[in-house]
Structure 1
Amino acid sequence: MNRTSPAARTPAVLSLAAALLLSACTSSADIEAEAAASSSGAAVVQVDTSPEQADRASTTESDDAVALLPADVAEDGELTVGVVGTGEPPLAFLADDNATVVGSEVDVASLVAESLGLELDLRNISWEQWPLSLQSGDVEAVFSNVGVNAARLELFDFATYRQGIMAFTAATGSDLTIAGPDDVTGLRIAVGSGTNQERILLDWNAQAESDGRSPATLEYYASAADALLAVQSGRVDAYLGPNPNAVYQASKGQVEVVGTVNAGWPNTTYVAATVLKGTGLVDAVEAGLQHAFTDGSYTETLERWGLGDEAVEAPEVNPQVAG
């Protein structure tokens, strides 16, 4: 279990190499990357890598949200949240102590817990674990970049808090612009196997072949770190991965975002807090999110991590999605 404390530490700006290693060292490389990002017009994301997270936005308890809590959760006094905490900034990653999980997903979960008058009990889980963790009761909610889709709606309830966006990154100075299927013809695109990104590119390739165009060549990488290095070295033309990571890496001046696509293409999908279906907790979570939306702490949180472009106007329970 990892919890935050209010002690303050100075934020550190991570360079690309540091981000890939989840390190917090500030070096001349950081300074050069920040200068490059500034000259390119990219916003520089200041990442606080301390376990204390003193700059985290906070909110107040909401009577309306508390009133919707299931009795067992209210009596327990804690909101047990699962998060995949071994990733890269800004979503969820290990802080300087190499133990505490911090990031935008943790901050959103913290706002909900505060709105509900509960203490946040954070559990670091693997991506493969999250469905079973909810079904077994090991966690009550998951805040971990989980996208809403038809299959998941059969088992879980969702309260949305971000748009699900994927981004194409290319080497800085690239002339690429990727707005749709026509723009990847003949390109070498790095992608992770079994991901939404792969599904999108395979659909685009099928469309290209149907139109008599050359498909993109998909190069598979097990980690974003390897894919980004492939982009920088010119082994691939672009990498399609989660937008939050792309925004952060682009802010360092090492790569640039050359296009985005919704993770549910050709439809729209959202990232949502996830709870076990039928428990009733989703209504309390939605109300807690709405409280944070209303008082501005939600916007402050997304902007803190450079994710303002992924904001939604209001949380929604179980949005309709294409089958």
Structure 2
Amino acid sequence: MNTRTPALLITGALLAATTACGAQSLDAAGNDAEQPAAEVVLDEAPAEEKAAGVINAITPDKELAAKVPASVKSGGLKVVSSIGYPPMELWASDGKTAIGFDPALARAIARKLGVKYTLTDEEFNSQIPGVLTGRYDFVISSMTDNAERQAKITFVDYVKAGSGMLVKKGNAAGIAGPADLCGKTVSVVDNGSSLELAEKYDAECASGGKQALNILKFPGDTEAMLQVINGRAQATVTDYVVAAYKAADPKVEVEAIALEGTESPWGIGMKPDNTALIDSVKGALDSLIKSGEYGKLLAAWNLDKLAVQSAVVNGGK
């Protein structure tokens, strides 16, 4: 769904190691009373992260931390995402630190579970295979929770969002909704929910006796959007929160159009048999929701409308 660059490891724990305020003392499982408590240096969010103050104030929930899988306790929470999909995922000004709502929530979950955190930027189509092979503990990448993906991974749903379109400023093509895409060229991210929607609209055009869509597929959202800017495509289908974020930038010169009735949950994806981790992530998200910290993370990125009331497992259809 985003621009793909070579995998880049962002180790938030290294940032935290330079400051004492990131250290939290947790009792190590199975320790004798005479043994010292394990010192875990938690991830500190960078200054450019809009929710940094909220994240850095989160302290571990000892009950949840005690149930975290041993591999995560020892190796930290290994997260995969795709950077370049603002406001959900983007690079800070240093070009190597991930910020945005998805990295913010991943950091918050790690802190709630009392573990370190690393995030790898990976091409969208490689994320689920990376989770299934154990390279990553979970994927958080604006990924729609649907039945097809549930056949491979298990989701803990963390927001609910709809789709939208981007058209060039002025909308010379006169696109107001899906029916106006018939006979037009539309750019999408390959293998994402935007492709599914474009194919759905193409079928509707065919059934109505209208011209088909010319669908251009790209590995990342930025490439798909560029086709609209350079005039190769009349529209690109994406998530509405991303479309609105990009349309708010006067330098981009695009307009956002909401696609009504497309709301669906986005999930944190994990290996189905890793039930201990699924329970830990669900517990951490529920704790963040109950404490109000989750709402503050959303508000920091102006995403209040995406809020869910509880952490649901595989809520997508």
TM-score by length of 2: 0.74
CA contact (8 A) 1:248 1:306 kept: no
How far does residue 277 in structure 1 lie from its aligned partner after superposition?
Answer: 1.0
Gaps of 5+ in 1: 8-49
How many residues are aligned here? 272
CA offsets 1:256-312 (integer angstroms, 9 cap, x no match): 2112256xx5xx632111111121211110111111112222222223233333222
Q: Distance in 1 between matches of 2:125 and 2:189?
A: 15
What amino acid is the match of 1:294? K
Q: In structure 1, what is the Cα distance between the partners aligned to 2:222 and 2:121? A: 21
**Do 2:188 and 2:215's aligned partners in 1 also have CA atoms closer than 8 Å?**
yes
Q: How does 1:194-205 map to 2 (within 5 A)?
A: 194-205=191-202
Partner of 1:82: 80
How far does residue 110 in structure 1 lie from its aligned partner after superposition?
A: 0.7
For the residues of structure 2 that align with 1:317 and 1:154, how far apart are their CA atoms?
Answer: 13
1:147 is aligned, of 144, 149, 160, to 144
How far did 1:228 drift? 3.2
Task: Check 1:198–1:275 CA distance in 2 against 1; reply closer, same or farther (3 A cut).
Answer: closer
**Separation of aligned partners in 1, 2:179 and 2:258:** 13
Aligned to 1:102: 99
Equivalent residues of 1:168, 1:257 under 8 A apart? yes
Q: Is the 8 A contact 1:51 1:96 kept in 2?
A: no
- Equivalence map 1:176-191=2 (5 Å): 176=174, 178-179=176-177, 181-191=178-188
8 Å CA contact retained: 1:193, 1:221: yes
- AA aligned to 1:315 is A
Instruction: Specify the alignment match of 2:242 in structure 1.
Output: 245
Aligned equivalents of 2:75, 2:218: Cα separation in 1: 42
Counterpart-to-counterpart distance in 2, 1:226 and 1:127: 13
Contact 1:292 1:298 in 2 (8 A): yes
Task: Work out the CA distance in 1 between the residues paired with 2:220 and 2:134.
Answer: 30
Partner of 1:293: 289
* 2:38 alignment counterpart: none
Calculate the TM-score normalised by the size of structure 1.
Answer: 0.72
User: Structure 1 CA distance, aligned partners of 2:225 and 2:242?
Assistant: 11
Give the conservation status (yes or no) of the 8 Å contact 2:89–2:100: yes
Query: 3-state DSSP class of the match of 1:272?
Result: strand
Secondary structure of 1:170's aligned partner: strand
Q: What amino acid sits opposite 1:212 in the alignment?
A: G
Query: Counterpart in 2 of 1:270?
Result: 265
Residues of 2 paired with 1:84 and 1:112: CA distance? 18
- Give matches, 1:1-323, under 5 Å: 1-4=9-12, 5=15, 52-53=47-48, 55=50, 56=52, 57-58=54-55, 59-74=58-73, 76=74, 78-85=76-83, 87-174=84-171, 176=174, 178-179=176-177, 181-221=178-218, 223-253=220-250, 254-260=253-259, 269-280=264-275, 281-321=277-317
Q: Is the 8 A contact 2:240 2:258 kept in 1?
A: no
Q: Distance in 2 between matches of 1:141 and 1:233?
A: 36
Q: What SS class does the counterpart of residue 80 from structure 1 fall into?
A: strand
Distance 2:189 2:118 in 1: 31
Tell which deviates more after alignment, 219-228 or 242-251.
219-228
Q: How far apart, CA to CA, are the structure 2 residues paired with 1:275 and 1:224?
A: 23
Cα pair 2:144 2:266 within 8 Å, conserved: yes
Against the structure 1 CA distance between its residues 148 and 236, is the aligned structure 2 distance closer, same or farther, given a 3 Å change threshold?
Answer: same
Q: Distance in 2 between matches of 1:156 and 1:242?
A: 21
Question: How far apart are residue 118 of structure 1 and its match?
Answer: 1.4
Q: 1:231 to 1:274 in 2, by over 3 A?
A: same
Percent of aligned pairs with the same amino acid: 22
Shift of residue 160, structure 1, vs aligned partner: 0.6
Superposed CA RMSD: 2.9
Note if contact 2:60-2:113 (Cα within 8 Å) is conserved in structure 1.
Answer: yes
What runs of 5+ residues in structure 2 fail to find an aligned partner? 1-8, 19-44
Cα distance in structure 1, aligned partners of 2:226 and 2:179 = 25
* SS of equivalent to 1:81: strand
